[in-house]
């Protein structure tokens, strides 16, 4: 996929999220639906961009399926915490990954050196997830 043809320049501040172009929705259907039986057709795909220090937060969704286009540096990690316990995850670019419990566990992205770009799909238990 030639990612340079899409406009990822809408970042204002340290975080931005907006609905992806129609072509990216079509690419999503071709690239992920054969691998997972998801009923997501009426949920939009979002483009997510972030820079700099990110705050600890919980999402307004249960799970996320993300596709990192540019991780934002070589040592970037997604960090989850619950109480004093933390779990660090280095996410590989250009492949889909499932992030469970983003609505219940605090998390953030750390060690960003440049702008991080990703595609993200919001999932709730009512989406009927079959993995």
* CATH number reported for the structural domain that contains residue 112 in this entry: 2.60.120.620
1 domain-assigned: no
8 domain-assigned: no
pLDDT of 131 above 50: no
59 domain-assigned: yes
**Containing H/E element for 29?**
helix 22-31
- For residues 5, 34, 43, 39, the Cα torsion angle rounded to the nearest 10 degrees is 170
Predicted TM-score (pTM) of the model is 0.79
Q: How many domains does the chain have?
A: 1
Burial class (CB in 10 A: 0-12, 13-18, 19+), 131: exposed
Report residue 49's pLDDT band, with 50, 70 and 90 as the boundaries.
confident
Q: Report the pLDDT value the prediction gives residue 62, as an integer from 0 to 100.
A: 85
**Containing H/E element for 22?**
helix 22-31
5 domain-assigned: no
Instruction: State how far the Cα of 57 lies from the Cα of 11, in Å rounded to an integer.
Output: 19
Query: What pLDDT digit, counting tens, does each position of 15-38 carry?
Result: 777 677 777 777 777 776 544 555
What range does the domain containing 37 cover?
14-127
């Amino acid at each position: 996929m030639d990612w340079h043809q899409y406009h990822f320049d809408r970042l204002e501040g340290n975080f931005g999220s907006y609905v992806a172009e129609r072509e990216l929705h079509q690419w999503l259907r071709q690239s992920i639906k054969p691998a997972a039986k998801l009923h997501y057709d009426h949920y939009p795909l979002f483009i997510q961009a972030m820079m700099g220090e990110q705050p600890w937060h919980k999402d307004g969704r249960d799970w996320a399926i993300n596709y990192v286009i540019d991780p934002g540096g070589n040592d970037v990690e997604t960090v989850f915490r619950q109480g004093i316990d933390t779990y660090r995850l280095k996410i590989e670019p250009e492949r889909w990954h499932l992030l469970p419990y983003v609505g219940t566990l605090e998390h953030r992205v750390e060690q960003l050196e440049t702008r991080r770009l990703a595609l993200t799909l919001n999932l709730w238990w009512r989406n009927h997830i079959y993995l």
